[in-house]
Structure 1
Amino acid sequence: MTATTESPAAPPAREPGSWTTCPGCSTMLYSRRLERNQHVCPECGAHHRLTATQRVAHLLDPGFTVLDTAAALPADPDVLGFTDRAPYPRRLASARAATGLDEAVLVATGTVEGAPVVTAVMDFRFLGGSLGAAVGELVTAAAELAVARRTPLLLVTASGGARMQEGALSLMQMAKTAQALAELDAAGVLSLTLVTDPTYGGVAASFATLTDIVLAEPGARMGFAGPRVIAETIRDALPEGFQTAEFLLAHGLVDQVVRRSALRGVLGRLLSCVAEPRPGAPGDGGIMRDPALLGPVDPWAAVRGARHLDRPTTLDYLRLAFDGFEELHGDRMGQDCPAVVGGMARLDGVPVVVIGHQKGHTAVELGARNFGMGMPAGYRKAARLMRVADKLGLPVVTIVDTPGAYPGTEAEERGQAVAIAECIRLMATLRVPVLALVSGEGGSGGALALAVADEVLVCAGGVYSVISPEGCAAILWHDRAAAPEAARALGVDAVSLLRHGVVDGVVPEPPGGAHTDPAAAAALVGSALAAALRALLARDPDERRATRRARFRAFGAPAPLVPPAPMPQSTERTRSR
């Protein structure tokens, strides 16, 4: 591919004063008004399809470069001599004449809000954006360019599926492009997809869904098999909104649904998270590390305070103590869990992946968030985001605030124990710095699943325990009313946790507790997390990982077991063998 600094030619302009019909609501729209609104219907919000040239101009900053892809096209794409109602070469010639493109993909380089990017943009007008050898080659070449430049790759998809005129060679492009995305993973280069309407078949089942982050425009449809094929094949009634972006978001298959007007901002913030960090000055962040300097705490009062409805939640801390948070959704296995939130942000200028339990402040939100009790999908989402962080070299920051993982039938059916265990194991092996904060409740394995860290801090009013005091009282005292006594016996309070080495430091709170002044509490948390993160970043990565392993290896083991020396074999036993 060669470069040209000229912008792609604009699509043919409609006649002045022309009108068009919105496919979403059938409203007659004045074309110039529609264009001014970025081809989004002002009446119903339907996102009209854009050409590849329009899409590049919309997403990239001025001064982008469109690559000349003619040299990357196969010399003879019609290897089968395929003819249906028209010979394949004639179909290609017609598509080129109608679109002004060499193929169904336009490759360009440039920036999005100043952040560099390589982008491959599909155009549905070109034979339905079908995946053939040329499309696979251009997507692969764009990925290889991104690896060579160590620049993020943005794929914009629009496809009806495989290019049947190329037979099995079209099928092979799924493997070719998937392999190219794997090379991006190995190189630690960020990849993103923007799903536009429609994205089906081989594109959906290869490069479109293999990127680190998958965004979708409102109403965009994506799936392996189209609704008509499904309905005609298995005669099954499809649910409302099936395969739309909103359906995909609810089922954990895309990270965000983003309006066209907000796309550049979201992409710019995500791309900026792989830029060089700009950490602030060193300091202790106010973290208290000597239990002797902390005043006495009533453990049961701490439990009640940690559950206060006005206590800051993870999303409150993300809004007040972090910058540029972009939430990412889904476990990529069919579910999302609102009790576990996560995404990319900056902490004191350092790009991080941040994950935390989310409760809420009202009865409605608490119910919607399952009271902060994560389902298996929540822990699998957390693990997915941790793997992205590890790939990109981004520190992981977690905020723990849960009474425990959800204990219901549905969670057990979906592998709650396995999801928690895998999350714990993954955190123990991450190559990047890991910092955890118990901000409120830290309940059992559901809390530990986000707290296997290089450094574990707790807010002064936070608690952390193997079981809730009520549960402990019911089991051992046979009386839930003994919960205050159980809280004292369990040592759930910050002072006890620091004394026993379960946490490494205590973050102070405003007088009366974090719920009395959430903004001040967030300032204290932000300062403490930033200081702890700076210290972790300054350490040697191998030494840091070894220390993390040693930290958890030491709990309950005063000295490692030494294997006994092998018993000498007797001469008689040796001869008898």
Structure 2
Amino acid sequence: MGLSGETLEKEWTWCRRCTALIYTKRFHRSACVCPDCGWHGPLSARQRVHQLFDEDGWTVLEGVHTTYDPLGFVDSHPYPHRLAAARDRTGMDEAVMCVRGTIEGRGAVAAVMDFRFMGGSLGSAVGEAIVRAADTALEDRVPLVLVSASGGARMQEGVVALMQMAKTVEALTRLDEAGILTVSLVSDPTYGGVAASFATACDVILSEPGARLGFAGPRVIAQTIREDLPEGFQTAETLFENGLIDEVVPRTLLRSILGRLLAVQQTPTEDPPETPDPLLRDPALLPERDPWQAVQQARDLRRPTALEYISLILEDFVELHGDRVRADCPALVGGVGLLCGRPVVVIGTEKGHTPQAMAGRNFGMASPPGYRKAGRLMRLADKLGLPVVTLIDTPGAHPGVQAEQQGQALRIAESLRQMAELRVPSVAVVIGEGGSGGALALGFADRTVMCANATYSVISPEGCAAILWNDRDEAPTAAAKLGLDSRSLMRLGVVDGVLSEPGEGAHEDPAAMAGALRGALIHTLRDLLALPEEELRSRRHDRIRAFGAPDARLAEEVIG
């Protein structure tokens, strides 16, 4: 006996991507994700809240119920009739549901849109509800999570709906000023006034797989420019490749990722335990080494990379991507995590180990999008009051034609300016090569430390030899002249401390090396966090002012 249409509709669901027939109860158990192709089906606002928030860990905020009709708008039906029909069909007062509660045990306020209610359109009541949610987050001092699903501003309210774009962004600006984290979750679809306001004005932008995000819809664009649109146009995956969103997260992982992000808003309950300072601070305690040998050791492909150190020293790390302009530089990585329970922002240059991985990372040489991404993360650290840790391992900034066309020098200068203006403590760690301005762009910090086998130099020995001796084979001679080894750098006052390495180098025992680095960061940050902001910045100014100062007494006084 065949299934009736009514039975099919109730008991079975069609996947809109692969057209598979899915048992409806199974589909709902899998959070409306197709088990065959991974298509993420739409969720109602209430389903979304149940999916993200802890069980029995949320309450609904008072809604905004209105029949506001500023234009007396009528198409085939009067606007108030459309509102009434949407309310009857969805059981919601409006196209957004606002709640407060906990996600993975951490407090949050959320505004969740529902596309079933007039296409999730942004009208005055929706805008007011989102602003009230932001006010609640500000009052509770907890992060705000915004889940979007919308076709854009509500046409029936005319320019009043348009003004909701500015109204919601202004509310987010007040959260910026108060240091409250904002997270956007883009679901399918998100267009128009929502895409061009609160959905993309947050600190972190996550998206579900396949979700579409854009200002103008594809049909409007195609009709306007009369061209075929590229495959994957406006999808989350394309936006991620173009550096416009932080991550594409499968629905089943969203709650976990959000919980880890919300942790950066928490205040440590206690200071880390007192431990001995693992840093050597006297050059005499470091053995004299052949500088060229130091260069070879710093370049050893077996050395732990930035991402490996991050995985060993931080808990709940979430990598953030993209410069929000055009790309995600693979040579520069960063994100947020917990260092012995204290939230920090970490930024690093990443090389990889194998030739293939190194080529994919541009050999650790950051491009302008990479330095813009670093700038994003520094601004986030400043907003949230989080210390900044940078991990440096690069032969220098990327020297390509495209990098120059995109303003490589300007981006490095801007990175230096941002590090100079930070209101939070910063620690730079040279873990391998520290090459030229590409390294210094992440190295202008309150404290600079380095691993014993690392190097830090104005130019590579090969580059110096080619310029001054017109012979790259003179690189060992150049290395000896440049003072790039850890002992020389500590003597010059460029670095404040050096971490000993096990045996032949950090690669022999990465866990032990990471443990020493973790201890050094905890010890150094404890001292810096005790300083008032003005004193922190004043000391930073004095420290950098002393380098190469004509008055040797000034240099000795500041550097030590």
TM-score tier by shorter-chain length is: over 0.9
Give matches, 1:47-86, under 5 Å: 47-70=40-63, 72-74=64-66, 76-86=67-77
Q: Is the 8 A contact 1:497 1:503 kept in 2?
A: yes
AA in 1 matched with 2:241 = A
Q: How does 1:257-336 map to 2 (within 5 A)?
A: 257-277=248-268, 278-336=270-328
Comparing 550-559 and 225-234, the one that deviates more: 550-559
Q: Does the 8 Å contact 1:285/1:529 carry over to 2?
A: no
| Number of the residue aligned with 1:6 | none
* Residue type at the aligned position of 1:157: S
Alignment pair present for 1:428 and 2:420: yes
**Structure 1 residue corresponding to 2:340, chosen from 323, 340, 348:** 348
Compute the displacement of 1:149 (Å).
1.5
Per-residue Cα deviation, 1:288-320 (whole angstroms, up to 9, x for no partner):
000011111211111111111111000000111
1:150, distance to aligned residue in structure 2 (A): 1.1
Q: 1:342-382 CA deviation, whole Å, 9 max, x = no partner?
A: 00011122110000000001111101100000000000000
Aligned residues: 548
1:17 offset after TM fit, Å?
Answer: 7.2
Q: Is the 8 A contact 1:66 1:106 kept in 2?
A: no
Residue 556 of structure 2 aligns with which residue? none
Compared CA separation, residues 14 and 136, structure 1 to 2 (3 A): farther
Q: Partner of 2:437 in structure 1? A: 445
Tell me the equivalent position of 1:221: 212
Query: Could you tell me which residue of structure 2 aligns to residue 256 of structure 1?
Result: 247
**Deviation by residue 1:366-417 (Cα, 9 ceiling, x = unmatched):** 0110000000000000010110010000100000110000011100111111
Counterpart contact for 1:270–1:344, Cα < 8 Å: yes
Q: Does 1:391 align with 2:358?
A: no
User: What is the CA–CA distance in structure 2 between the aligned matches of 1:374 and 1:422, rounded to whole Å?
Assistant: 14
SS of alignment partner, residue 209 of structure 1 = coil
Tell me which stretches of 4 or more aligned residues in structure 1 moved more than 4 Å. Answer: 13-17
- Distance, in Å, in 2 between the alignment partners of 1:104 and 1:17 is 25
Deviation at 1:68, TM superposition (A): 4.9
Equivalent pair of 2:61/2:99 in contact (CA under 8 Å)? no
Tell me what 2:555 maps to.
none
Aligned to 1:30: 23
- Which stretch shifts more, 104-113 or 539-548? 539-548
Give the deviation of 1:538 after TM superposition: 2.1
1:454 to partner: Cα distance: 0.6
1:545 maps onto 2:537 in alignment? yes
Cα distance in 2 for partners of 1:319, 1:84 equals 57
1:492-571 map, 5 Å: 492-559=484-551
Q: Check if 1:153 corresponds to 2:139.
A: no
Q: Identify which range, 520-529 or 319-328, moves more after superposition.
A: 520-529
Q: Secondary structure at the match of 2:280?
A: coil
Give, in whole Å, the separation in 2 of the partners of 1:69 and 1:286: 54
Q: 228, 236, 239: which is aligned to 1:245?
A: 236
Amino acid at match of 1:416: Q
Cα distance in structure 2, aligned partners of 1:166 and 1:91: 12
Q: Equivalent residue for 1:132?
A: 123
**Structure 1 residue 282 displacement after superposition:** 2.6
In the alignment, is residue 368 of structure 1 matched against residue 360 of structure 2? Answer: yes
Aligned with 1:199 (options 184, 190, 194): 190
Distance in 2 between residues matched to 1:524 and 1:514, nearest whole Å: 11
Give runs of aligned pairs for residues 473-484 of structure 1, distance below 5 A. Answer: 473-484=465-476
Query: Normalising by structure 1, what TM-score?
Result: 0.93
Amino acid at match of 1:47: H
- Partners of 2:378 and 2:528 lie apart in 1 by 17
Q: In the aligned structure 2, how far is the partner of 1:73 from the partner of 1:91?
A: 14
Cα RMSD, aligned residues only: 1.7
Match of residue 182 from structure 1? 173
- Residues 104 and 130 in structure 1, CA contact (< 8 A), matched pair in contact too: yes
AA paired with 1:424? L
Measured against aligned partners, the alpha-carbon deviations of 1:454-498 in whole angstroms (never above 9, x if no partner) come to: 100010010001110000000001000000110110001000000
Q: TM-score, normalising length from structure 2?
A: 0.96
Mean Cα deviation higher: 519-528 or 497-506? 519-528
- Percent of paired sites with the same residue: 58
Give the letter for the 2:25 counterpart: R
Report the CA distance between 1:529 and its aligned residue.
1.6
Q: Does structure 1 residue 113 correspond to structure 2 residue 109?
A: no
Letter in 2 for 1:21: W
What corresponds to 1:233 in structure 2?
Answer: 224
**Partner Cα separation in structure 2 for residue 284 and residue 128 of structure 1:** 60
Shift, 1:252, TM fit = 0.8
CA–CA distance in structure 2, aligned partners of residues 21 and 527 of structure 1: 54
- Equivalent-residue separation in structure 2 for 1:222 and 1:545 (angstroms): 40
Structure 2 counterpart SS, 1:80: coil
Alpha-carbon contact 2:142-2:265 (below 8 Å) kept: no
| Partner SS for 1:511 | coil
Which SS does the other structure have where 1:439 is aligned?
strand
The residue number in structure 2 matching 1:402 is 394
Conserved in 1, the CA contact under 8 Å of 2:245 and 2:321?
A: yes
* Maintained 8 Å contact 1:461/1:494: yes
